[in-house]
């Protein structure tokens, strides 16, 4: 379960996966409702609770919610920009039983990272926060979101993770939903940049074997087969938005015509079991050719519905990241055109 406690965030990353229409503070679920949601999720067998946002640390009740999730038997993970992580809050979270922290970095130094984050001194605060996480004895993952503007720093970002004492780094090429889709032409790397990054990751994996685990997520725009988005629609993942909508994927609200139920109207277990928005792309019966009958149908589940909609206008189409999709050439052409375009300006993420 991914809990987007809030959409508030001091940063303005132009690739943020939050929707363009951000929830306001006054619409956020209160502490008691989040606790009920956590208990209901545990009751249907949820194993992990990921506290995210926006920036989850803007919520004063974060440690209380982490403690409740731990008491309900969930593995707890904090996904944070870390710019608000002080020593006292680290102690509070560790005492609440937090298991793991993921800190996002926008680059390897302040010169590159801070203009991407849209916040001065953000990078220095993240470095200090990573130290606090390790001193508290918690597991640490560095999230390195990479794109055209920071790929030249990939080797230094991997070194940063080693120096920070992280056990894991996730080198994730931007996925083009939400704000990232809006900023695609300023972010998407060229094919040559992608290939170079892949070589750097492979070499680092060998060199750092036993020291740092490196997860690597490539951009769909250069793929020949799609990823199994969310492990398949409504198979093992759900997301709760700040205002309490329950979604099968964090970008699902981009799909028109689907009504996402609220945890204030029905329980987590009821929505998971039979909500129409969860049923619509569950399994394989909804698929049309070439997915229907394809031997990979239960491996990649037809790819991403949000990407299919964004690029073909049909959410039930085969993800154009697949080479078997009739729209695959269109996606590849977009990548070439936009990665070589001289577009530098970002539309920074903000609540309008």
Residues 197-256 that bind ligand SF4 (CB under 6 A): 225-226
Residue 38: CB minimum distance to ligand SF4, A: 21
DSSP state for residue 24 in the 8-state scheme: P
Task: Please tell me the count of residues contacting ligand SF4 according to CB under 6 A.
Answer: 26
Judged by beta carbon, residue 66 or residue 180, the one nearer ligand SF4 is 180
The residues with which 77 forms a beta bridge, in sequence order, are 50, 100
Dist CA 91 CA 132 (whole Å): 9
Of the residues 19, 49, 54, 219, which one makes contact with ligand SF4 according to CB under 6 A: 54
Nearest to 149 by CA among 184, 122, 123, 119: 184
318 lines the binding site for ligand SF4 (CB under 6 A) = yes
User: Are 54 and 243 a contacting pair, CB within 8 Å?
Assistant: no
| Cα dist from 269 to 36, 79, 101, 241, whole Å | 12, 24, 27, 16
As to burial, measured by CB atoms within 10 angstroms (0-12 exposed, 13-18 middle, 19+ buried), residue 124 is middle
Dist CA 348 CA 116 (whole Å): 9
Only segment of 5-13, 25-33, 199-207, 270-278 that touches ligand SF4 (CB under 6 A): 5-13
Residue 245: CB minimum distance to ligand SF4, A: 17
- Per-residue x/- mask for ligand SF4, residues 266 to 305, rule CB under 6 A? ------------------------xx--x-xx--x-xx--
Residue 16: CB minimum distance to ligand SF4, A: 3
Contacts of 122 (CB under 8 A, 6+ apart): 10, 11, 81, 83, 106, 110, 113, 114
Only segment of 50-58, 64-72, 157-165, 182-190 that touches ligand SF4 (CB under 6 A): 50-58
Residue 276: CB minimum distance to ligand SF4, A: 23
Please give the residue ranges that form the binding site for ligand SF4 (CB under 6 A): 9, 11-13, 16, 18, 53-55, 81, 104, 225-226, 290-291, 294, 296-297, 300, 302-303, 318-319, 322, 324, 349
């Amino acid at each position: 379960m991914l809990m987007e406690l809030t959409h508030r965030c001091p940063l303005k990353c132009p690739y943020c996966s939050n929707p363009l229409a951000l929830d306001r503070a006054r619409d956020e679920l209160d502490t008691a409702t989040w606790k009920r949601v956590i208990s209901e999720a545990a009751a249907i067998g949820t194993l992990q609770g990921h506290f995210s946002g926006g920036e989850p640390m803007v919520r004063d009740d974060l440690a209380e919610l982490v403690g409740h999730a731990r008491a309900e038997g969930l593995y707890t993970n904090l996904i944070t920009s870390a710019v608000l992580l002080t020593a006292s809050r680290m102690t509070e979270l560790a005492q609440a039983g937090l298991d793991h922290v993921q800190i996002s970095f926008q680059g390897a130094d302040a010169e590159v990272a801070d203009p991407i984050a849209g916040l001065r001194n953000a990078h220095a605060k993240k470095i200090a926060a990573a130290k606090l996480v390790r001193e508290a004895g918690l597991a640490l993952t560095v999230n390195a979101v990479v794109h055209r503007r920071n790929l030249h720093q990939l080797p230094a970002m991997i070194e940063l993770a080693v120096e920070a004492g992280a056990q894991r780094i996730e080198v994730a090429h931007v996925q083009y939903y939400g704000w990232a889709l809006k900023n695609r032409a300023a972010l998407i790397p060229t094919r040559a940049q992608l290939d170079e990054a892949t070589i750097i990751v492979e070499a680092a994996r060998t060199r750092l074997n036993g020291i740092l685990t490196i997860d690597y997520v490539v951009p769909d725009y250069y793929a020949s087969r799609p990823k199994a988005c969310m492990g398949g629609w409504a198979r093992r993942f759900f997301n709760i938005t700040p205002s309490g909508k329950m979604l099968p994927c964090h970008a699902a609200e981009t799909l028109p015509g689907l009504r996402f139920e609220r945890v204030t109207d029905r329980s987590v277990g009821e929505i998971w079991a039979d909500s129409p928005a969860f049923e619509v792309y569950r399994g394989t019966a909804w698929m049309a050719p070439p997915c229907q009958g394809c031997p990979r149908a239960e491996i990649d589940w037809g790819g991403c519905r949000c990407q299919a909609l964004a690029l073909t206008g049909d959410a039930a189409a085969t993800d154009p990241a697949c080479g078997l999709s009739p729209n695959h050439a269109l996606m590849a052409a977009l990548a070439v055109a936009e990665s070589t375009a001289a577009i530098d300006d970002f539309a920074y993420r903000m609540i309008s």
